[in-house]
Structure 1
Amino acid sequence: MANTLTSMLNVWYQQKDQCQWVLATIFETQGSSYRKSGAHMMINDLGQYHGLLSGGCLESDIMLQARRCWDSGEGRIVEYDMTEEQDLAWKLGIGCGGVVKILLQPVSKQNDYLYLNKVYSRLSQNGYCYFAQQITSGEPQVEYAELPSTAQVKVEQWEHKGQVFLKQVLRPPINLCVVGAGVDAQPVVEIAAKLGWRVVLIDPRASHGRSNYFPDAFEIIKAPLDSLIENADELTWLAQTDALIIMSHNVKLDAQGLLLSLKSSAKYVGMLGPLHRTERVFTQAGLNRDKFERPFANPIGLRLGGELPESIALSMISEVHSFLAQKDAKSISGIV
């Protein structure tokens, strides 16, 4: 299931002229709702949808509403009121207790694909962009512009000349670099990819990093790490890295991973292993942990419990996720 906008657009782009498509966007919510304003879903006339706007409860009706867009060639606004007993959402037994308003817009060559081809190209090239949709029935109206990477990601409604737009600043997928491609790296790559992250996997060892073991990796690099460090200024993916995880289980490779992280744009660096081993890695790298120039997590991960590789991977990715999102990773309910 493609849930991030870039993943959805990747599926759409391959078939954009082979099917009829509708872009569904939540533009307003009140009370409780599964997704919030700015969430997207792509729907085609084969009965397929990519992304979710609810927990799967509303999607079948949204599909029916989308067919009316194809018939008319115009956009529609639909509203689901989970507080009203006569509303369809209530009858479906959703019971979230909120209101969700959704804008449906047909996407076709005739309306310049709502500029989604430009959005897809920009996000795929690790760029930021501005995307605004007029909240109205009838002929779809959108605006698009490229933005610098310093742009603040946000979603808001904006009124201009009597028209209301949903305005978004969209960012590219999170770029995760993983140094070490052993068996325990498989669930790390898989979970990150499910989140829509782009994972670059590095391991020069011949027995590691085989593509059939890591089908979800965006790229697998087999070059020696010292050559990557030496040529760091020429590596675009390194300059785009948001987070870097070191887990080769080899002191020398881990030390090189530390040195590589200092050449990257990583806002988070984490290393698998106990503290006493980490001291050996820093010594091997000729670095001082107390003066390391990146936010550094070791032992990496949240205290989730569990000893299986999948549990450890979940723990690590959860910490990276919360750090990049600037959240505290505490229990929402307070039960723990």
Structure 2
Amino acid sequence: MKEIKSIVAAHEVAVRNGEASALATVVKVDGSSYRRPGARMLVTENGQLTGAISGGCLEGDALKKAQMVIFSEKSMLVTYDTTDDDDAKFGVGLGCNGIIHILIEPILPEVENNPISLLKRCLEDREEKVIITIFNSREKRSVQTGTCLLLSETINAQNSGADPLSDSLQSFARDKAEEVLRKKHSIITPVDSQFPLQAFVEFVPAPIKLVLIGAGNDVIPLTRLADVMGWEMVLADGRSEYVDPIRFPMVSQYLVGTPQEVLAQLTPDQRTAVVLMTHNFNYDFEIMKGLFPYTFPYLGVLGPKKKLEKLIENLETAGIQLEEAQLQCIYGPMGLNIGAESPEEVALSVISEIMTVLAAQQPTHLRDRQGPIHIDESENA
């Protein structure tokens, strides 16, 4: 989501400067690559790049082709075969061992719901969305439909610049969007066995929201790392002198008050992590009690295990009996075991644990993983 935010912001700057631009999107990967489908890069006519479609290996060539797209105002599908032993033609030994298909589309401001407009709508709220991009990898010189639909439970937006979609294609898109929303991961699927069209049906979740209860100095490195990740942040504390935008410039919402006043303004969802870091047992307890039942996936408690045990005992005394599923979303002491000591190391440990939990993964060394490290988006429909 951070990449989408950066691309939308860069496009707005380009528009103000009167510069045309194009959007490059990885729509399919056969084998391995540094970036997966959904990776994007905005290219302006003066060569400014925002985002990335590789580890830096393909950007130079993609820049030249994007400027051709800007000039012609016609989309282009480009394929890079990094399985070729002679990959020096890209200017560097890639070592990715994959075939990467990249769709480059001109961004025409006069076109309603152009690709950037659809991306911008992904940032308007915390609703899960699906972006559908249709491409023809067998006939690359043919007209590419491109990024054409944004769908969610409340949105059905079509790129008016693309060829009008037939009723059957729109029905196909809605069916696949429902499937992707249900499974919560992207797929790449043939549109019709009679035609060479394929659809990249991309799941776009809401950004992770980090609710920080506590504004001590040890929270500062946590906000810095979360900002690098592109997470939304809410900071709350009962001490107004601590909740200072100068100390926490990356935070988007600041809350000051009693636990009850803070709780009234919190709206945690399935992409929210809450961490209790006030170093005030009673304040943490009131927040923990007020958030029950826990409908969000991660509640982190700073401090030793005995502190969490005492918090749970107090909840039981208050008449709140936690079930096993509710206990499973509470992490205390919070963080992965990476040998963290300093506040910065603890922040890395906590950020890593939150990522693991929200991605429904088990922390392990990638070298010990059997098979590929990424989900295969391909679907043989």
TM range (shorter): 0.7 to 0.9
SS in 2 for 1:184: helix
Do the aligned residues in 1 keep the contact of 2:187 with 2:202 (CA within 8 Å)?
yes
Deviation string for 1:251-306 (max 9, x for gaps)? Answer: 12211231243266421111110022233444555476854835100010101113
Residue 345 (structure 2) pairs with residue 311 (structure 1): yes
Corresponding residue for residue 143 of structure 1: 148
**Alpha-carbon offset, residue 329 of structure 1:** 1.1
CA distance in 2, matches of 1:46, 1:204: 49
- Pair 1:131 & 2:131 matched: yes
Q: Cα 1:175–1:102, aligned 2, differ >3 Å: closer, same or farther? A: same
Counterpart of 1:276 (choices 306, 309, 322) is 306
How many residues of Structure 1 are paired with residues of Structure 2 in the alignment? 330
Distance 1:65 1:260 in 2: 55
**What does residue range 50-129 of structure 1 map to in structure 2 within 5 Å?**
50-87=50-87, 91-129=91-129
In the alignment, structure 1 residue 180 sits paired with structure 2 residue 214: yes
Aligned-partner Cα distance in 2 for 1:173–1:119: 13
Distance change (3 Å), C-alpha of 1:331 and 1:289: farther
State the distance in 2 between where 1:132 and 1:178 align: 35
1:114–1:141 CA contact under 8 A, matched in 2 = no
**AA matched with 2:4:** L
CA contact (8 A) 2:126 2:206 kept: yes
TM-score of the superposition, structure 2-length normalised? Answer: 0.78
Superposed CA RMSD in Å reads 2.7
Aligned match for 2:252, one of 209, 215, 218? 218
Q: Distance in 2 between matches of 1:297 and 1:259?
A: 15
Tell me the distance in 2 between the aligned counterparts of 1:279 and 1:312: 21
SS of 1:123's equivalent? coil
Q: In structure 2, what is the Cα distance between the partners aligned to 1:26 and 1:102?
A: 4
Against the structure 1 CA distance between its residues 86 and 37, is the aligned structure 2 distance closer, same or farther, given a 3 Å change threshold? same
Contact 1:25 1:38 in 2 (8 A): yes
Deviation at 1:54, TM superposition (A): 1.3
**For the structure 1 residues 178 and 284, does the alpha-carbon distance in structure 2 shift closer, same or farther, using more than 3 Å as the test?**
same
Indicate how the Cα distance of structure 1 residues 32 and 145 shifts in structure 2: closer, same or farther if over 3 A, else same: closer
User: Which amino acid in the other structure matches residue 165 of structure 1?
Assistant: A
* 1:119 shift after superposition: 3.5
Matched, 1:238 2:237: no
Structure 1 segments unaligned to the other structure (5+ residues): none
Q: Which runs of 5+ in 2 are unaligned?
A: 155-180, 370-381
C-alpha separation in 2, matches of 1:316 and 1:307: 12
Residues 53, 115 of structure 1: CA spacing in aligned structure 2 closer, same or farther, 3 A cutoff? closer
Q: Tell me the distance in 1 between the aligned counterparts of 2:269 and 2:350.
A: 22
Return the letter of the residue paired with 1:94. L
SS at match of 1:38: coil
Paired residue secondary structure (1:210): coil
Correspondent of 2:184 among 150, 153, 162: 153
Structure 2 counterpart of 1:326:
360
Is 1:8 aligned to residue 39 of structure 2?
Answer: no
Q: Is the 8 Å Cα contact of residues 7 and 196 (structure 1) preserved in structure 2?
A: no
Structure 1 distance, partners of 2:95, 2:292, is: 49
Give the match for residue 170 of structure 2: none
Do the aligned residues in 1 keep the contact of 2:255 with 2:262 (CA within 8 Å)?
A: no
Same amino acid, percent of matched pairs = 25
> 1:333 is paired with a residue of what secondary structure?
helix
1:14–1:127: structure 2 CA closer, same or farther, 3 Å change rule? farther
Other-structure match for 1:255: 285
Q: C-alpha offsets along residues 138-162 of structure 1, whole Å, 9 cap, x if unaligned?
A: 4654332431396443322233353
Q: In the aligned structure 2, how far is the partner of 1:46 from the partner of 1:224?
A: 52
Instruction: Give the Å deviation of 1:319.
Output: 0.5
Kindly state the Cα deviation for residue 22 of structure 1 after the two structures are TM-superposed: 1.5
Q: Which amino acid aligns with 1:307?
A: E
